[in-house]
Homo-oligomer: A and B are copies of this chain.
């Protein structure tokens, strides 16, 4: 069990426990960022050996059992899995679901899901045939998929998020870097991390995209979030895991030439 930041003050009874793989940020990071931003304590269960057998077994984890990590134990003892389900559950508790009630919360959920779709598609570039196989065994296909990702998919997602930011009715007064209203939501935090991962994986492609000047709101959002109080402290603490061979991977041959 590893303690989250504020956990030092409020140790044993923090109540939230994140179950995830050790050593990679992965999808667990989306959950961590929400707690870190909000300054709410959480602890982690990172035992790779028992993780999946525990999550699969209702007699150990409670009902219903889970397909895969991340999973979050709530203060009640109930465990929720599926990244967007976890985020949608904790967003109103952590003040990250917008300011205007149920329908706005669903808009936040919608944007989280679309940002996670970009995350999934970025992963599938290096594993187009099977996550059960090595990259090297599907590299030829990955090259084809990467080309389509660079030319079609990534611009499609960025055009969407730029359009959301640019059409936010509160954008003129808040600098145009909030997906919903003028408060940080889980959607901002997820998009921040996905952009960070995409930039790690495709540095040349992202540099070219930045240079177009067509996506300025998106890169302003990224910079804003990494300087927000809880997130800045988290990054500076050194506790934030580094990208390596997880969801987001840097293979220069997939990054193209432009």
Q: Find out whether the CB atom of A64 lies under 8 angstroms from the CB atom of B132.
A: no
Q: Establish whether residues B167 and A64, one from each chain, have CB atoms under 8 Å apart when the complex forms.
A: yes
CB of A139 within 8 A of chain B? no
Judged by a CB distance under 8 angstroms, whether A129 is at the interface is: yes
Give the contacting residue for A148; candidates B132, B144, B145, B168; CB below 8 A. B132
0 or 1 for each of A125-169: is its CB under 8 Å from B? (1 = yes): 000111011000000010011001000110011001001100111
A100 → chain B, closest Cβ, in Å?
A: 10
Asked if residues B67 and A160 are in contact (CB atoms below 8 Å), the reply is yes
**Cα(A172)–Cα(B157), bound, Å:** 46
Q: How large is the interface on A (under 10, 10 to 19, 20 to 34, 35 or more residues)?
A: 35 or more
The answer on a CB contact under 8 Å between A106 and B89 is yes
- Bitwise, A56-90 to B at CB < 8 A (1) or not (0) is 11110001111100000010101011101110110
Residue of B nearest to A169 (CB): B63
B109 engages A85 (CB within 8 Å): yes
Establish whether residues B64 and A168, one from each chain, have CB atoms under 8 Å apart when the complex forms.
Answer: yes
Q: Which residue in B82, B107, B110, B145 is a CB contact (below 8 Å) of A130?
A: B145
Interface pair A102/B89, CB less than 8 Å apart:
yes
Q: Say yes or no for A114: interface residue by CB 8 A criterion.
A: yes
A85 B103 Cβ-Cβ under 8 A: no
Q: Is the CB of B88 within 8 A of A74?
A: no
Check B141–A64 contact: CB distance below 8 A.
no
Q: What CA separation (Å) do A156 and B56 show in the bound complex?
A: 11
Q: Does A113 contact B (CB under 8 A)?
A: yes
CB of A111 within 8 A of chain B? yes
Can you give 19 contacting A-B residue pairs, CB < 8 Å?
A58-B163, A63-B169, A64-B179, A67-B114, A76-B103, A80-B110, A82-B110, A82-B114, A85-B109, A88-B109, A89-B106, A124-B124, A128-B128, A128-B129, A128-B145, A130-B144, A130-B145, A130-B152, A132-B148
Chain A residues in the interface with B (C-beta under 8 A): 56-59, 63-67, 74, 76, 78, 80-82, 84-86, 88-89, 102-103, 106-107, 109-111, 113-114, 117, 124, 128-130, 132-133, 141, 144-145, 148, 152-153, 156-157, 160, 163-164, 167-169, 179-180
List 4 additional contacts besides A58-B167, A74-B103, A88-B88; criterion CB under 8 Å: A64-B107, A65-B164, A65-B167, A67-B156
